[in-house]
Structure 1
Amino acid sequence: MLWMKWKMMMDSLRGRRRRLPCSLWFVLLFAAGGLVLFIHQQDLSEMVQQQGPGVKLGSTPRQSRETLSTQDRERGKSDNYQDLQAAEGLLSSPIPPMQFPHFEKSRQTATPGSREQDIGSLHVSKRHRKLLKTSPPIHNTKNNVSSPSSTSVSSSSAVSSSSSISSSSPIFSSCASGSFSPESWKKLSSVLEARQQLMKEICAKYKSSISKTITRHHVKHLFVEDKYKLLYCQVPKAGCSNWKRTLMVLAGQASNTQSIKHDTVHYGDHLKKLDSFDRQGIMHRLETYTKVMFVREPMERMVSAYRDKFENPNNYYHSLFGKPIISKYRVNPSWAALKTGNGVTFKEFVQYLLDVHRPVGMDIHWEQANQLCNPCLIDYDFIGKFENMEEESNFLLRLAGAPPNLTLPSFKDRNPTDKRTSMQITEKYFSQVSTLERQRVYDFYYMDYLMFNYSKPFKDLY
């Protein structure tokens, strides 16, 4: 009897000994799972903190894979610039070199000061062909032009030009007077026709796969002047304020441009935008009105925007852009800088512009001109240049039949004591950043350089 009790007790102990390892394994597995979950949550919280406000986690701004790969190499702290160039050469595209049409007249009559290249000598490198091939397409948005049967306007409706700038056209014959001699009139007409033709070549070569519909999003920067049938696409820092003043005078809202203040121009809502019309109104104006845009040397325009918004008092830009830029890119920022957003340096601004995870989104003042005006969807009749703004603007006003005494104003009403941003000033600012950063800014605006035929601003760019 005692033997049986002792045996039963030993069997019970053996069972507990066998169950003990199972319990221990369960505890160990539970602890390991909790540790892995804790580490994963820590990684996610760090990613969210680095992302900052204004950008969704995992989103990528409109930059090419070329820019992304350049940034990755920069983060890898590669200090051999020649190696970077060699690496870029390995990323060549199979697209054959672009063949540009030869415009004999345009080469002979390029407008002075416009910094336009000889169209026949334009060369697109293998590296930039890849940049163009991977550049972002123009996407449709939810705010399409509404209609009973369609939500978009076919781009074919915008293909036809409302007025020709050819020297043989009726409008040329009727307006070839005033301050323009027949020779200067023909010269400007030839240059403008060459710009239009170049734009068509670039769009056919590199943007042929984009959607062929125009939505409200694509026309939101176009201002409408119905009396003289003009559509003007605003490109800030390229004479935008003075052109808006001129449109207000044409519309009869002011007697002269000099009396219109800056705030009235930009915040008075005196000018209608094309996206405020219904589908039929948008289509009609795209088909019949003269479509106009003015551009500026891209890196000079960018410096002009930086000087205007960050080197002068501006509560809106310092608060909305300055504070997150300083917070992300400045080492040990002061409490005052974080609170006010004042004092953003040019290098910090460049870092923000090139960052694929910007702490705050883009702004119209430094957005690419081709993204603002969509010239591959909208067939512009007149592509003017800031560098020859006065002559080309007055040429357009005569074409449109504006009053003979109306000319584009040239005054500078914001920060009038500051010198206008020139290429000399632009070079001074870009001397504050590295060679690689300067190259990447050029890459960022490369489509503008190509579409609007601007030469490289620095010799070391490739």
Structure 2
Amino acid sequence: MSKTRVVACLVVVVVVTWYAISFQHLQLRATQPPAATTTTTTTHTQSYQSYSEEKWKSVMHGRLARVAKLCRQHPQALNRFDLFSVFKSLTVDPAHHLVYCRNAKAGTTAWLSRLLQWAGISFNTTADVHTIADQAFPMVATDRILRELKRSSLTFTVARHPFTRLVSAYRNKIEENYKPERWSEIMRKYRTPINITTEVNNSRPTFREFALFASDEVLRCLGQARPSCLDEVDVHWLPHHDRCAPCNINYDVIAKMETKDEDEAYISHLLGLPLPPPTQQNVASGSLLRFPHQNLFLNAECKKIGALETEKIENITRTSTRLLRPCRFFFLLIRFPVWRLGIGSARLIRLYFGSS
């Protein structure tokens, strides 16, 4: 590793530590044990025949233990002090004592649809899900959230590989003309070679330009003591640990989009609520929930990034650590295989983040 890269890494750690050191006392980790596992037997559909409750209980224990360890090792850097912003991301179902932290571009629509189904609330299309969920589970007062977090409610959140999530955000936000008024600004700042005559009309940011823009939005907050800084970052690429604060909230389940089927079966068992019958399962996990270019929850699609996107990410990470720096603590907290990023990126991640 070059001396410059080592220095840059140390600077990031020091800045983040300084950023949060005054607010460690706001940690809300509950002292109660995780929600008790119900004895209700859940009948799983054929899609879940490979699910083993004991095996997944062990998997989840490993995930939670790793998060707890990293939270103890980096309390100043990983604790969130602006918890009201975190609470705004929580969906609370008081009837089932269920608290879900929404992480944009990590299956939010699918998980909200599951909460609605568990609550016996119907919906027709994915366009209805967020509106109906907001009505069914309105934001509750802070004191009510604190009570739910301190009681035996089941709390869960969903993570996704940050680079896959970034590709999804690009497809969903750039290719579908999300906030096009910012495109010229992005292209003029990141398009190379830098030239004031660079053509930006009738064009849109490339994946490289978008990825660097999204990363820089997060990086600028590392040196900011303003609580509002992270609030200004678009939630579709705000790091998961900044939005859902796993070091402040004692989650019972940290699911992954890449293991959605098993995680969903495990949560269903903990709640004592059945999974939907096969026809509903196929609708919720398949044709209803689609991005423009891929099925959101087919495991074959979730477990890999397309070859083109992999090459794009590989090219960026080979020449710059800017795409990696905002994800540093996420990669430490939530283990994801690095093989999917290509050999060059995998080596860079090992060098930059270490093997722990």
TM-score, with structure 1 as normaliser: 0.59
Say whether the 8 Å CA contact 1:305–1:366 is kept in structure 2.
Answer: yes
Query: Per-residue deviation at 1:418?
Result: 4.0
Residue number among 164, 172, 175 corresponding to 2:41 in the alignment: 175
Tell which deviates more after alignment, 177-186 or 388-397: 177-186
Task: Note the alpha carbon deviations across 1:7-38, whole angstroms, 9 max, x for none.
Answer: xxxxxxxxxxxxxxxxxxxxxxxxxxxxxxxx
Say whether the 8 Å CA contact 2:51–2:262 is kept in structure 1.
Answer: no
Please give the residue correspondences for 1:423-462 in structure 2 after superposition, counting only pairs within 5 Å.
423-425=305-307, 426-433=309-316, 435-437=318-320, 439-456=321-338, 457=341, 458-461=345-348, 462=351
Change (3 A) 1:368 1:215: closer
Residue matched to 2:246: 375
Query: Per-residue deviation at 1:380?
Result: 0.4
Please give the residue correspondences for 1:402-441 in structure 2 after superposition, counting only pairs within 5 Å.
402-405=273-276, 409-411=284-286, 413-418=289-294, 420=301, 422-425=304-307, 426-433=309-316, 435-437=318-320, 439-441=321-323
Please give the residue correspondences for 1:42-191 in structure 2 after superposition, counting only pairs within 5 Å.
85-89=2-6, 91=7, 131-135=12-16, 137=19, 155-156=28-29, 158-164=30-36, 169=37, 171=38, 173-175=39-41, 178=44, 184-191=52-59
Unaligned runs of 5+ in 2: 222-230, 296-300, 352-356
User: Is 1:317 aligned to 2:179, yes or no?
Assistant: yes
Percent of aligned positions that are identical: 22
Aligned length, in residue pairs: 311
Amino acid aligned to 2:62 = A
Amino acid aligned to 2:211 = V
Amino acid aligned to 1:428 = E
SS of the residue corresponding to residue 73 of structure 2 reads helix
Structure 2 Cα separation of the partners of residues 131 and 213 of structure 1: 19
Residue number among 40, 62, 67 corresponding to 1:194 in the alignment: 62
Unaligned runs of 5+ in 1: 1-81, 92-126, 142-151
Residue matched to 1:329: 190
Residue number among 316, 320, 343 corresponding to 2:204 in the alignment: 343
User: Is 1:221 aligned to 2:89, yes or no?
Assistant: yes
Amino acid aligned to 1:393 = E
Higher helix share: 2
Residue number among 261, 264, 281 corresponding to 2:144 in the alignment: 281
Change (3 A) 1:138 1:235: farther
Say whether the 8 Å CA contact 1:291–1:381 is kept in structure 2.
Answer: yes
Amino acid aligned to 2:129 = V
Structure 2 Cα separation of the partners of residues 209 and 323 of structure 1: 34
Amino acid aligned to 2:64 = Q
Query: Per-residue deviation at 1:350?
Result: 2.5
Change (3 A) 1:428 1:410: farther
Say whether the 8 Å CA contact 1:221–1:373 is kept in structure 2.
Answer: yes
Say whether the 8 Å CA contact 1:291–1:382 is kept in structure 2.
Answer: yes
Tell which deviates more after alignment, 411-420 or 221-230: 411-420
Change (3 A) 1:186 1:335: closer
Task: Note the alpha carbon deviations across 1:395-448, whole angstroms, 9 max, x for none.
Answer: 2112212234357632263444446563344412214536222x3212221111
User: Is 1:301 aligned to 2:165, yes or no?
Assistant: yes
Q: Which has the higher contact order (CA 8 A, sep 6+)?
A: 2
Amino acid aligned to 1:86 = K
Residue matched to 1:270: 135
Say whether the 8 Å CA contact 1:178–1:404 is kept in structure 2.
Answer: yes
SS of the residue corresponding to residue 450 of structure 1 reads helix
TM-score, with structure 2 as normaliser: 0.75
